[in-house]
Amino acid sequence: MAGLLLGEAAIRDKKQAVQTQSYGPESRGGAARSEIVISDQQIDYPKVIEADVLVALSQPAFDKYHSIVKKTGTIIIDADLVKCEIDKIYSVPFTKMADSLGKKVVANSIMLGYLQASTEAISIKSLETTLREKVPEHTIELNIEALYRGIDFRKKGK
Amino acid sequence: MILNQKEYNKVVKTISKNKLFVQGDEAYAYGALLAGCRFYAGYPITPATETAEMMSQLLPRIGGTFVQMEDEIASMGAIIGASLTGVKSMTVTSGPGFSLMQENIGFACMTESPCVVVDVQRSGPSTGQPTEPSQGDIMQARWGSHGDYEIIALCPNSVQESLDLTIECFNLSEKYRNPVLLMTDGEVGHMREGITIPDFKEYEIFDRKKPTKPPADYIPFLPDKGEIPQIADFGCGYHTYITGLTHKPNGLPSTDDAEIHTQLVNRICRKISDDVDQLSKVEELYLDDAESVVISYGITSRAALYAVKMLRSEGIKVGYLRLITIWPFPEKIVRKIGDSVKKIVVPEMNRGQIIHKVRESVGNNTEVLSLPKIGGVMHSPQEIAEMLKE
């Protein structure tokens, strides 16, 4: 879902985007992976070769994928779900922050906001528009609040 | 049904809400509706189920029909029947279902019934790796049904092309009175990319030729000119007769006459094989001074193009040919490349299938190397580059 939202926001920004995923976990449980390539130019190879950014929200995901991140890249983890000993890493309590908003599921929207502020690969406006269209109607305002919590959290340099 | 501006508007209104960034599987459905498809029969299968879901949601809203069948051979039967009443028809499946459809694909060839089959290939044989992509059905597409026949098969490498080529599949099936296959794969099917819905005036729609003579003079399988007879749709007031048996021009069976069989089968093959030049769609890049060339199709071409650009930036003279039409095989184009290069590399997500046609086309003068990959993993650009460089 986060990958889909990022891709659609990138398209709204008039960029190119390709998203691929591991299939099935949404319906079958287990670790889910979404890869997304965003570019101003035509994207030939649809997969991530070296990642600029990795967001890992579980320990197995971090263990499996952290090695594909570039030396100059960014790794963002959920502070309470992933333990790691790498220094240059952004450890953010997405799940806890979501809990404080009253719904754990909006952790993803907080993460998207944080990711937007970290990379600026997509605009806030496009991300907000996409989120408004994609989430269930009764959760729109909560998700938007979550999105801005994530953006603010990053901007405050945390 | 003829797709006019009003019908087009209805389709676009139905599909375009929030549809900026979609999966290949969704794009097959959109392409079909834009081509005028109004009948879908199928049996859901990973990684093609999303197309069935789309069609089940969209078709009823624009006056079409969606049927979930008991299995894949019945799905083929249903789309052939629907097509013969004049409705453009499609089914979508993956390897295991494609195997089950083969008998009726042959029936559609023999009865010259226009229809479109999308095979979102997954890793086989048998049920194999349901969620993993593959290009393992390429030879089955050509030879899966028994007897002598020709098939048309196209291969998309992006979500936009999935939409565009589905429209093309319908046009070709109507034009040639033949089943046309879209040989795509689980990677393209599940990949999301941005798409543009073409304007009504931007794309061509071909509808089958209807009888021009009065009913009394109409002979169902006697072409007016060329090799393709006009179709009198069931229920339009003309007498017609459909059988998978060898039939005379009037449609009635004649199963022990060598001459009648030879004429019929040669005609249904020639209508496609004689047109191979017109049907050959390829993408050619960096070929002018190339010393080695990668020939690929479908999703594999995305890694191939990346590899070629990478090597070109190092000053290495490599070229890129992508087969958009895989059947009938664009032999002349491949032969011409073979005449001018030293080495051809053929990456495929199977153990080596189209490479046999490449070798057959170029003869012994050019080295042709297979780069097979199975298990549901895409080639990396690096491994293609290494083989091109060696």
* Sign of the CA dihedral with B53 first, then B302, A6, and A82 last: positive
What mean pLDDT do residues B26-37 have? Answer: 97
- What's the rounded mean pLDDT across residues B194-212? 95
pLDDT over threshold 60, residue A122: yes
- Is the pLDDT score of B42 beyond 60? yes
Residue B36 pLDDT exceeds 90: yes
Q: Percent of chain B at pLDDT above 70?
A: 99
Query: Can you tell me the mean pLDDT for B91-107?
Result: 98
Q: Supply the pLDDT for residue B92.
A: 98
| Residue A76 banded pLDDT, cuts 50, 70, 90 | very high
* Cβ pair A45:B20 closer than 8 A: no
Q: Which token pair is B115?
A: 């229809």
The alpha carbon of residue B254 is apart from the nearest alpha carbon of chain A, in Å, by 51
User: Over the Cα atoms of chain A, what is R_g?
Assistant: 15
Please report, as a single letter, which amino acid is at residue A127: L
Interface test with B, best of A12, A23, A27 (most B CBs within 10 A): A23
Does residue B22 surpass a pLDDT of 90? yes
Q: Do B190 and A23 touch (CB under 8 A)?
A: yes
By C-alpha distance, the chain A residue nearest B190 is A20
- Please give the angle made by the CA atoms of A76, A77 and A80, to the nearest 5 degrees: 155
Strand partners, B343: B292, B367
Higher pLDDT, A23 or B56: B56
pLDDT the model gives residue B363: 85
What are the φ/ψ torsions at residue B198 (nearest 5 degrees)?
Answer: -65, 145
- Measured in degrees and rounded to the nearest 5, phi and psi for residue B205 equal -125, 130
Q: What is the pLDDT of residue A56?
A: 93
> Which residues of chain B make contact with A19, given a CB cutoff of 8 A?
21, 191-193
Residues of A in contact with B156 (CB under 8 A): none
Q: Per residue in A77-108, pLDDT tens?
A: 999 999 887 777 899 999 999 999 999 999 99
Query: Which residues of B make CB contacts under 8 Å with A?
Result: 18, 20-21, 46-47, 131, 186-187, 190-194, 299, 302-303, 305-306, 309, 378, 380-381
Over the stretch B175-184, which tens digit does the pLDDT of each residue have? 999 999 999 9
Q: Write out pLDDT tens, residues B269-311.
A: 999 999 999 999 999 999 999 999 999 999 999 999 999 999 9
Span B27-55, average pLDDT: 97
pTM: 0.95
Residue B376 to chain A, least CA–CA distance (Å): 11
Predicted confidence band at A30 (pLDDT cuts at 50, 70, 90)? low
**CB-based contact A19 B21, cutoff 8 Å:** yes
Strand B282-285 relative to strand B367-372, pairing: unpaired
Task: Report yes or no: B79 and B39 within 8 Å, Cβ to Cβ.
Answer: yes
How many Å separate Cα B375 from the centre of its chain?
Answer: 23
Residue A142 pLDDT > 80: yes
The yes-or-no verdict on residue B344 having pLDDT over 70 is yes
> CB A23 to CB B46 under 8 A?
yes
Q: In the prediction, which pLDDT does A25 show?
A: 52
Q: Return the percentage of chain B with pLDDT > 90, whole number.
A: 95
Nearest CA in chain B to A49: B380
Contact B191 A19 (CB under 8 A): yes
pLDDT at B93 over 70: yes
pLDDT at B136: 98
pLDDT at B117 over 90: yes
Angle, CA B243 vertex, CA B258 and CA B66 arms, to 5°: 145
At A83, the amino acid letter reads K
Band (B327; pLDDT cuts 50, 70, 90): very high
Q: What are phi and psi of B111, to 5 degrees?
A: -90, 0
Residue of A nearest to B189 (CA): A20
Predicted local distance difference test score (pLDDT) of residue A88: 77
What is the per-residue DSSP string for B178-191? Answer: SEEEEEEEHHHHH-
User: pLDDT averaged over chain B?
Assistant: 96
Helix, strand, coil % over all residues of chain A, rounded to 5? 50, 20, 30
What amino acid occupies position A157? G
Quote the pLDDT of residue B149: 98
Runs of H (alpha helix) within chain B: 5-15, 24-35, 49-58, 72-84, 95-111, 138-143, 159-176, 186-190, 258-273, 276-279, 300-313, 331-340, 355-362, 381-389
> Residue B265: CB partners within 8 Å, gap ≥ 6?
B147, B148, B149, B246
Do B320 and B294 touch, CB atoms closer than 8 A?
yes
3-state helix, strand, coil in chain B (%, to 5): 40, 20, 40
The full length of chain B comes to 390
Mutant choice from A18, A28, A37, A135 vs B, greatest count of B C-beta within 10 A: A18
Residue B327 φ then ψ, to 5°: -130, 135
What is residue B19's predicted lDDT score, i.e. its pLDDT? 74
Minimal Cβ distance to B309: which of A24, A44, A49: A44
**How many angstroms separate the CA atoms of B304 and B266, rounded?**
37
Other C-beta atoms closer than 10 Å to the C-beta of B286 total 18
Contact criterion met (CB < 8 Å) for B302 and A46: yes
CA distance B305 to chain A (A): 7
Among the partner residues A3, A4, A45, nearest to B381 by beta-carbon distance: A45
Q: Looking at the predicted structure, is the pLDDT value of residue B90 above 60?
A: yes
User: Is residue B221's pLDDT more than 80?
Assistant: yes
- Spatial separation of the C-alpha atoms in residues B361 and B366, rounded to whole Å: 10
Lowest-confidence pick of A29-38, B152-161, B298-307: A29-38
Q: Is A47 within 8 Å of B186 when comparing Cβ atoms?
A: no
Residue of chain B whose Cα is closest to the Cα of A12: B20
Q: How far is A45 from chain B (nearest CA, A)?
A: 5
Could you check whether the bond before residue B125 is cis, i.e. omega within 30 degrees of 0? Answer: yes
Question: DSSP H helical segments within chain A, as ranges?
Answer: 2-12, 25-28, 59-65, 94-101, 107-119, 124-134, 140-155
Residues of A with CB under 8 A from a CB of B: 3-4, 7-8, 11-12, 16-21, 23-24, 44-47, 49, 133-134
Work out the average pLDDT over B83-90. Answer: 98
Mean pLDDT for A44-65 is 93
- Asked which of A131-135, B42-46, B296-300 is least confident by mean pLDDT, the reply is A131-135
User: What was the pLDDT predicted at A143?
Assistant: 96
Question: Is pLDDT at B366 greater than 60 in this prediction?
Answer: yes
pLDDT, residue B99, reads: 98
Q: How many CB pairs under 8 A join A and B?
A: 58
